[in-house]
A and B are shown apart, each in its own frame.
Chain A
Amino acid sequence: MGKAPRITIEDLSLAFRTGTGPFVALDRVSFDIAPGSFVSVVGPSGCGKSTLLKLLSGVYSPTSGRILFDGKPVEKERLQGQVGYVFQRALLLPWRTALQNVMLTMEVARRSMTRAQREAEALKWLEIAGLKGFEHRFPHELSGGMQQRVSICRALAFRPQILLMDEPFGALDEITRETLQNELLQLWQQTETTVVFITHSIPEAVILSEQIVVMSARPGRVVERINVPFPRPRVDSVREHPDFVEMAGHIRSLLHPRAHAIAAE
């Protein structure tokens, strides 16, 4: 797998045709993603965050605008097989064990690997994610947090250039969530993958990312891009740092402009 490319999102728009006329899900969204960096996208529901990921993974084609890798535009088909995906639901195959679920992405996107190589690779990721001993369990025998770990392993195992995460920890309780945030950073540091992470949680975005893209809803637009300067590895104490609190407050004010204005009066 080559090094992760610099991703440029250029004036990306997507409109859906609906019964009541076109619905603009994304409106001229532009930002850059440095190779191997961690970018979070925060915004209210309906701001087109998930749509953005579906464009980045080659599931949808944009109405206008382009996605560039290292300055070269990439078509939908070339994006396929390059991106790992993690959803809010673990979305595992109930008829496959944890190990077999992790192997799925390699079966489809890394055809040159032998079965033994796929299995070795899958076992390696499961071990890193702390799932040793659970390889042969079926999804319904695993807790929600464990299922999501399997899902992350599945996405990373085929060494994608980009890892797209759509509110991956949104359905988990707070404790599991913080554990998985730390684990994700550890897993990510073992790869050269670029991560695009969607979340509703402002502290989650701040603790995980190098760059935060704040979006508004209907139509989905970029409001602000924020660089997060905290050094890595980030420890839990960052959460109490005054700069952290201030940055979270700033993002909150961008997301709730009206509430903020009222509070300021």
Chain B
Amino acid sequence: MYRLSVTLGQFLVFVVFFAIWELLVDLLHIRPVILPAPTAIAEKIWENRALLLKESWPTFAAISLGFIAAVVSGFLLAVGIAYSRIVRDLTYPFLIAAQILPKIAFAPLFLIWFGFGLTPKIVIAALIAFFPIVINTAKGLTSVDKELLQYMDSLGSSGWEKFTKISLPWALPYIFAALKISITLAIVGAVVGEFVAAGEGLGYVINSSNITLNTELMFAAIVTMSVLGILMYLAIVLLERYMLPQGQLEDSGHSTM
């Protein structure tokens, strides 16, 4: 009962937010070029549905490819960090330093290096999505209960078995936490890439309608972008639900009992 009323209440907060927005725009006679009303934005989205859908594809491609590149390379480096002292000692300080850098600032540089189009977008998305994956996965793999690994040794387990049966499942909650952070970062990266170095995509629509002061279209693209982002985030959450058995979902903090 409480759950249901909370869900209803959460929904109401959204409704109230948009209602106030709509009302304020109407009462204060705010011009659409400054802030269009939610209904006007909805109308604009409907009018431009074909365009927005078409422009969603390159953005989606940039986010997905950048994210996948970050996950694969980040995972491999994390395994290196977790299992090789040399790799750990050499790369860790660099990684921490690199993580602090505002990687978005490199976007214009990538335009020079990779030209116009899909490549710079993928690179920026991958670059900022990469660090949480490496750091969290490495942390997950190294936080495995040592006694559990000794237990596997006492059974005559191979290193590969220890990895697949113990370390990897142990690290999965950490990895999923990283995936959720990284997918949102990949979205930011792709959009920034489209601001500076693209002739298509939702980021490009936002940027070009900004120049033409078509604020309604800009909002329409922002909303589409947000929906795209939410859907991709939800896909990760669903994957997590599917891959993490109940035992680990419920106590996300690790405790071997």
Contact = CB atoms under 8 A, between A and B. Distances in A.
A83 interface: yes
Contacts of B224: none
Interface stretch (B18-26, B193-201, B245-253): B245-253
Given A80-B154, A108-B155, A92 B257 contact: yes
B163 to A, nearest CB: 13
B155 A138 contact: no
Given A87-B147, A139-B257, A93 B156 contact: no
B245 A138 contact: yes
Given A139-B247, A140-B250, A94 B256 contact: yes
A92 B244 contact: no
A93 B145 CA distance: 10
A225 interface: no
Contacts, number: 79
Given A94-B255, A140-B251, A59 B245 contact: no
B156 A147 contact: no
A258 B250 CA distance: 50
B247 A105 contact: no
B162 to A, nearest CB: 9
A216 B84 CA distance: 39
A81 B156 contact: yes
Contacts of A57: 153-154
17 contacts: A54-B150, A57-B153, A59-B150, A59-B153, A80-B153, A81-B156, A89-B147, A90-B256, A93-B169, A94-B247, A94-B251, A95-B248, A96-B247, A104-B165, A108-B155, A108-B156, A138-B245
A85 B254 CA distance: 22
Contacts of A104: 165
B137 to A, nearest CB: 17
A74 interface: no
Given A59-B153, A81-B156, A94 B257 contact: yes
Interface in A96-116: 96-97, 104-105, 107-109
A85 B151 contact: yes
B166 interface: yes
Interface in B217-257: 244-248, 250-251, 254-257
A83 B256 contact: no
Interface residues of B, number: 27
Contacts of A223: none
Interface in A171-191: none
A108 B256 contact: no
Interface of B: 145, 147-148, 150-157, 161, 165-166, 169, 172, 244-248, 250-251, 254-257
Contact of B256 (A85, A92, A144, A158): A92
B150 A140 contact: no
A91 B169 contact: no
Contacts of B251: 94, 140
A58 interface: yes
A135 to B, nearest CB: 14
Given A80-B155, A139-B257, A140-B251, A108 B145 contact: no
A58 B155 CA distance: 9
Contacts of B148: 91, 93
A95 B245 contact: yes
Nearest to B169: A95
Contacts of A144: 257
A58 B244 CA distance: 32
A59 B154 contact: yes
A91 B256 contact: yes
A91 B165 contact: no
Contacts of A92: 256-257
A173 to B, nearest CB: 15
B4 to A, nearest CB: 26
Interface in A127-160: 138-140, 144, 147, 158
B247 A109 contact: no
Nearest to A138: B247
A85 B154 contact: yes
A81 B147 contact: no
Given A80-B156, A140-B247, 19 more contacts: A77-B156, A80-B153, A80-B155, A89-B147, A89-B257, A90-B257, A91-B256, A91-B257, A92-B257, A94-B251, A94-B254, A94-B257, A95-B245, A108-B161, A138-B246, A138-B247, A139-B247, A139-B257, A158-B155
Contacts of A108: 152, 155-157, 161, 165
B248 A94 contact: yes
A235 B244 CA distance: 45
Among B152, B244, B247, B251, the one with the most A-chain Cβ atoms within 10 Å of its Cβ is B247
A96 B251 CA distance: 13
Nearest to A79: B154
Contacts of B250: 138, 140
